[in-house]
Amino acid sequence: MTIDLGSTEAGSVAQGLTAQPGKVAALELRNVNASYGTTEVLRDVSLTVPAGSATVLIGANGAGKSTTLRVASGLMKATSGDVLLHGEPVNDMGAHKRAVRGLCHVPEGRGVYRSLTVKDNLIMQAPKGTVDAGIEMATETFPILGKRLMQKAGTLSGGEQQMLALSAAYVRNPSLVLVDEPSLGLAPIIVDVVFDFLQKLRSTGISLLLVDQFAIRALGIADNAYVLRRGRIAYSGDAATLLQGDMFEQYIGEGSD
C-alpha cells in the first residue's frame, strides 16, 4: 500500500512522546539523521517508545520507516543524533549487543534460516538454557509450527515463514520488539493471525514498535503513533486521536487499509 500524504504540512508537530513519569523509555531516537551514501533518508527524527507500550510508525513507501528500525536496532548507524535503549546511549553499540540488552528486530522479508529446520531456527534464536521453553511458547502461539519442527524453513509457506520469524519475539525473551511489515504479502486469514499475535505480545508488557501497511489495524492495537513524511516526523501523538476522521485524512490520506 502506498500512503499518499500529498503536500500537507503538519500544523504543529510534537518532537517525540515522553516516557511516563518514573519510567525509563524502552527506546528513544533524538534528532536522528541517517543516509545511504549521499542520499539523506532520515532528517531530525525524534521518537519515543514508552516502556510497556505499543507504538506504530506509519508513512508512505520510501518515507524512511524501515531505516528508522534499522538505526534503532543497530543494523545501520545514524549520521548524527542519539539512540537510547532503556535510557542507555547505544550509538556505538552493534546490533548483537543491543539484542543482548533486550532488543529484538523482526525485519521485513521473513528473515529465517531457510536451509535449517524450524526447530533449529528456534534453537538459534533462544538464549542458552531456555530452548525447550522457547520452542514450547512458539508452538503454543503458532500451533502449525509444532507440526513443522523437522521441516526446512525454506519449504514453509510464506505465512508459516512469517510465523517462524515472529516467534523470535517470544523465544529471545526480549523487552523491546521492532516489527517491520509483518503482514506484507500474506493472505487475509494469516494477517488476522499476525495481528492476534501482536495484540498478545503487547498484552505481556513487552514494548513494541510496529511498521505495517495496514495503517488502521496497526493503529487499533497501538497506544502511540508517529507519521513519517519524506524522512521527517509529521505527526506524533495518541494513536486513537490519529484514527479520528479529520486527523487521519490529514496525515494519512484516503485509500489507506
78-112 pLDDT, tens digit each = 999 999 999 999 999 999 999 999 999 999 877 78
26-53 pLDDT, tens digit each = 999 999 999 999 999 999 999 999 999 9
Three cell numbers at 123? 534453537
215-238: average pLDDT: 94
* pTM greater than 0.95 (yes/no): no
Question: Dmax over Cα atoms in the chain, in whole Å?
Answer: 55
CB proximity list for 195: less than 8 A, separation 6 or greater: 183, 214, 217, 221
Give the distance from CA 243 to its chain's centroid. Answer: 19
- Comparing C-alpha atoms, which of 12, 60, 72, 70 is closest to residue 36? 70
CB atoms within 10 A of CB 199: 13
Three cell numbers at 231? 524522512
Domains of the chain, first to last: 27-110+175-251 (3.40.50.300)
Res 128: pLDDT: 77
Three cell numbers at 235? 505527526
Is 14 a residue whose pLDDT tops 60?
no
- Measuring CA to CA, how many Å separate 7 from each of 65, 149, 213, 246, 248? 19, 49, 20, 16, 15
- Comparing C-alpha atoms, which of 4, 148, 145 is closest to residue 62? 4
Assign 23 a pLDDT band (cuts: 50, 70, 90): confident
Using an 8 Å Cβ cutoff, are 58 and 210 in contact? no
Res 20: pLDDT: 52
- Alpha carbon distance 17, 238 (integer Å): 9
